[in-house]
Structure 1
């Protein structure tokens, strides 16, 4: 997610659609059931066809329907909260490369071409290489994760991602002893990404993690959403997902991953260093300079709810920051 602040109360793009309680649980169970099929088939060698083929006219993908999948149990990191419906998850987005209005990414995503696509991996690794996205996906069984997602602007969703742990990729490439951080770079192509024709940010979009954050089992590289191929507006064909951090850390449409000895200078740190720090951990006790972070607005709900430290993942990740001043290292 990117970070142009929105009003907490009067957002003209706010899709505050109440979902009747009678519909939430059946849909949630359907989505949970839908979330296994691709990961299961991928583990057997067939899931890549689902995630990489171009949808034909009349196909389930083209019609925007969910693939039917066997039921599964919730994983150790899945939230039990109601999943944000596909329509809202794909039409209320921050992706400045496709425009700064919430509706722009969905409106402009057709210009983004996720195939052919390669990812360059270099820096402090013993096996630097450039790999095709389909080959990259084939290296790992795909897993589904139902994660909270909290935007720095003060709104949130619950997203059913499909992807693989970043740790598996990093270990496969064998980091050197000098590797301390991971830098991610997004696609730079104004023809595909019309938002890059403006100077609202310094392109290409760059983000970074400390190596131990990147290796944490919660950190994934997503290639799917809601049981479907990852839509352009959500960062196709490959995006980072770090659920305990504000959404702008989860960079979209990645073309390069670089392991470095020095902390990367990220895009939002460059744009507004007093407002956006390197860590960007969800912290209700540390307000943004222009608004409180103590509460959030869940898309699809009226009112506001309390923001959870580390977005509800404190038990899993707080130890990464032991001894750090989380106000200074915001």
Structure 2
């Protein structure tokens, strides 16, 4: 959720970390309780069960022998939503995180993530839908074939990554819920549990973390619900077991560890917009022409690179999403 309080464009990133044993697709699905459901009839189920991320296999010249990123990505052609940019390695994408529920330091999430228990887990779905329900995370995942998406991620602080997510389109979930005619927005609420999230014992933010999208944004094909990263089960520090990914918006919109999805007629009051309304608006679209009140947004530092690069309008997704905001003042709706 790239929380925006602390801009550290010069912070050091650990060079190495010890990743969990890499999961094949079969292991991912089994660990999430989806093995039987996938075989039984999810679209693309056989492909999910047989494709392996990268070269080799766990236990035979696995990650320990080949390096932490030996199983980073599936062997597949780029999809219609993928960027072809170099993917940020696991060692960096899982150790340089903003997740204030764990703490405000970039290393806190990886250091403290073991306190989060992503199973059992339920998601409450309510509001302006014809099918309100509370659903187990494994059942929710089983409703959709899992897809790989390689997306840019731009933090409002001025750094960026390229993330290989695994999950399903948010729009597919929204349509399954059958929104009523009154639904105009989607509100997401993260888990509030100070026992699992030590950062919630303080008042750095008003917990629980809340984010939201306009309904047409949520239905856009790029909007994504992630349950995995680098072909593996989503780590706690990256938002396990369910997080939102909206690649054309600043990263703090990507709420983690979601426990509730509510369709509403009114625009949600989101956490950072309440905490600092002059700095973090509801829309938070990446716009290099609009500086943050305390720093420029014209350039960014890609994690793992020394220099800075130009930031692209809508984080490089303008062709796909600019039409959603036709006629709006994007400066006003920072």
TM range (shorter): 0.7 to 0.9
Q: Following TM superposition, by how much is the alpha carbon of 1:69 offset from its aligned partner in structure 2, in angstroms?
A: 7.4
1:134 correspondence with 2:134? no
What pairs up with 1:144-163 in 2 under 5 angstroms?
144-163=148-167
- Root-mean-square deviation (CA), in Å? 2.8
Q: 1:79 to 1:37 in 2, by over 3 A?
A: farther
Query: SS where residue 323 of structure 1 aligns?
Result: coil
1:106 correspondence with 2:110? yes
Report the counterpart of residue 191 of structure 2 in structure 1.
187
Taking the aligned partners of 2:157 and 2:8, their CA distance within structure 1 comes to: 8
Taking the aligned partners of 2:105 and 2:170, their CA distance within structure 1 comes to: 30
Query: SS where residue 101 of structure 2 aligns?
Result: helix
Report the counterpart of residue 262 of structure 2 in structure 1.
258
Q: 1:261 to 1:113 in 2, by over 3 A?
A: same
What pairs up with 1:7-46 in 2 under 5 angstroms?
7-8=8-9, 10-11=10-11, 14-15=12-13, 43-44=44-45
Query: SS where residue 87 of structure 1 aligns?
Result: helix
What pairs up with 1:211-290 in 2 under 5 angstroms?
211-290=215-294
Q: 1:47 to 1:136 in 2, by over 3 A?
A: farther
> Which structure 1 residue ranges, 4+ long, deviate > 2 Å from structure 2?
34-43, 45-48, 57-71
Taking the aligned partners of 1:117 and 1:149, their CA distance within structure 2 comes to: 26
Q: Following TM superposition, by how much is the alpha carbon of 1:45 offset from its aligned partner in structure 2, in angstroms?
A: 6.9
> Structure 2 length normalisation: TM-score?
0.85
Is the contact between residue 163 and residue 223 of structure 1 (CA under 8 Å) also seen in structure 2? yes
Q: Following TM superposition, by how much is the alpha carbon of 1:61 offset from its aligned partner in structure 2, in angstroms?
A: 9.5
> Structure 1 length normalisation: TM-score?
0.86
Taking the aligned partners of 1:70 and 1:145, their CA distance within structure 2 comes to: 11
Taking the aligned partners of 1:208 and 1:164, their CA distance within structure 2 comes to: 18
Query: SS where residue 134 of structure 1 aligns?
Result: helix
Q: Following TM superposition, by how much is the alpha carbon of 1:71 offset from its aligned partner in structure 2, in angstroms?
A: 2.2
Q: 1:175 to 1:58 in 2, by over 3 A?
A: same
- 1:219-260 CA deviation, whole Å, 9 max, x = no partner? 010000001000000000000000000000000000000000
Q: Following TM superposition, by how much is the alpha carbon of 1:77 offset from its aligned partner in structure 2, in angstroms?
A: 1.1
Is the contact between residue 14 and residue 91 of structure 2 (CA under 8 Å) also seen in structure 1? no
- 1:141-197 CA deviation, whole Å, 9 max, x = no partner? 000000000000000000000000001111001000000000000000000000000
Taking the aligned partners of 2:324 and 2:157, their CA distance within structure 1 comes to: 24
Query: For structure 2, which runs of at least 5 residues remain unmatched after alignment?
Result: 16-21, 30-37, 52-57
Is the contact between residue 242 and residue 256 of structure 2 (CA under 8 Å) also seen in structure 1? yes
Is the contact between residue 72 and residue 90 of structure 2 (CA under 8 Å) also seen in structure 1? no
Taking the aligned partners of 1:168 and 1:308, their CA distance within structure 2 comes to: 28
Report the counterpart of residue 26 of structure 1 in structure 2.
none
Tell me which of 183, 188, 208 is aligned to 1:204: 208
Taking the aligned partners of 2:28 and 2:235, their CA distance within structure 1 comes to: 16
Q: Following TM superposition, by how much is the alpha carbon of 1:44 offset from its aligned partner in structure 2, in angstroms?
A: 1.5
Taking the aligned partners of 1:287 and 1:69, their CA distance within structure 2 comes to: 34
Is the contact between residue 164 and residue 229 of structure 2 (CA under 8 Å) also seen in structure 1? yes
